[in-house]
Amino acid sequence: MVNLNPPSWRELENKFKDTGLLPGGLWRPKNCNPNVHVAIIIPFRGRDSQLRVFLNNMIPLFQKQNLDYGIFVVDQREGPPFNRAMLMNIGFMESSKLGNYNCFIFHDVDLIAENEFNIYRCAEKPRHMSVLIDKYNYKVLYKDIFGGVTALTREHMQKVNGFSNVYFGWGGEDDDMSKRIRDKNGPGLSSVPGEIGRYKMIKHQHEKSNPINSLRWDLLKSTLNMWKSDGLSSLEGRYSILKLERRPLYTWMYTDVDEKAILWDDAMAKYRKNSWVQYLLTLNHTFITASPSISDGARTIHSIDLFVKSPCIPKCLSFISLCVISICAIILTNL
């Protein structure tokens, strides 16, 4: 049963405090040692109540499936229109620095799975999981759709160079990824059976900060020409992690993106005079570069602390571990 009523944060933390959940929203089963390590990547901006509904419904499902998982909320700073695909690339790169993840579930925060047999693991081919959604009367919208909730391995992501970084605003990025994976050299596309891949969508108003991308159809025509230079390979230096916090139910990555550097890339040269690109380039948004000592220190302490709190580590090491964490914190924040 899906519960679409948003609980308070205190209610959520009390609900899951005795489930073995580690800070940062990491959990692993005690009775087995899974060889699949799942990172749940949520592109996010300004949907607090939806996030509470998501966690309330999905954490029990993840734990019932005995997943070794972590939840990563990639929160885009206010400024340019929402860039969902780029946030998913960032989530992939940053979560990979925090754990040995080999399966990545890219998940819209407003979609709640209805069927516990919809297993949150990767397959031989990239997998579309949110096949039927109540908002669309549980019908497939069109052939080769690949949005909402998708599962890709590390190898899949590397083979197609991740998602595109150029889709600011609503629309197009899912179809771009669908083209990448269905290309003759791509890994292919698979879907869970319709009766399994059923989801409810949390109702919400369309945000002004996520206007429709009027350039999306032109960009999609260039996918197979641009994908090698647009994606994971063009991500470095074009985003920053302003804050990284291990919150009780998830890891929060507060990020900024440099839309001007992305749009001035050579791959976008032929679109520079487009009205949508001109609009984005004239936005009064200053890209913020994070201090390396803050972000790198947070990652190191995150990894050490999760290792220490693992059920596999003897309790006798707790004092030593706390000393190590404290020393690392002092050194890294003063570099």
pLDDT in tens, 84-113: 999 999 999 999 999 999 999 999 999 999
CATH code at 9-332: 3.90.550.10
pLDDT band at 55 (very low <50, low <70, confident <90, very high): very high
Alpha carbon 328 to chain centroid, angstroms = 28
pLDDT of residue 296: 54
| pLDDT at res. 299 | 55
Q: Are 306 and 24 in contact (CB under 8 A)?
A: yes
- Residue 311, pLDDT > 50, answer no
pTM score, whole prediction? 0.88
pLDDT digits (tens, 9 = 90+) for 123-169: 999 999 999 999 999 999 999 999 999 999 999 999 999 999 999 99
The residues, any chain, with a CB within 8 Å of residue 107's CB and separated by 6 or more, are 40, 41, 42, 54, 149
Q: Which of 129-138, 202-211, 317-326 has the lowest mean pLDDT?
A: 317-326
CA 318 to chain centre: 32
Residue 204: per-residue pLDDT: 77
What per-residue confidence (pLDDT) applies to 304? 46
Q: Is a pLDDT exceeding 60 seen at residue 297?
A: no
More confident residue, 288 or 210: 288
Q: What are phi and psi of 47, to 5 degrees?
A: -125, 60
pLDDT of residue 308: 45
Residues 40, 60: Cα–Cα separation, whole Å: 14
Average of pLDDT values for 276-301?
74
228 pLDDT band (50/70/90 cuts)? very high
Residue corresponding to tokens 């914190």: 329
DSSP state, 206? P
Domain boundaries along the sequence of the chain: 9-332
pLDDT at 322 over 90: no
**Angstrom distance (rounded) from CA 326 to CA 46:** 33
pLDDT at 331 over 80: no
DSSP state of 239: E
Residue 46: CA count within 13 A, CB half-sphere: 13
Considering only CA atoms, give the Rg of the chain: 20
130/152 Cα distance (integer angstroms): 14
Phi-psi region of 231 (alpha: psi -120 to 50; beta: other; left: phi over 0): left
pLDDT of res. 1: 84
CA distance 164 to 228: 10
Measured in residues, the chain has a length of 335
Region 170-184 average pLDDT = 96
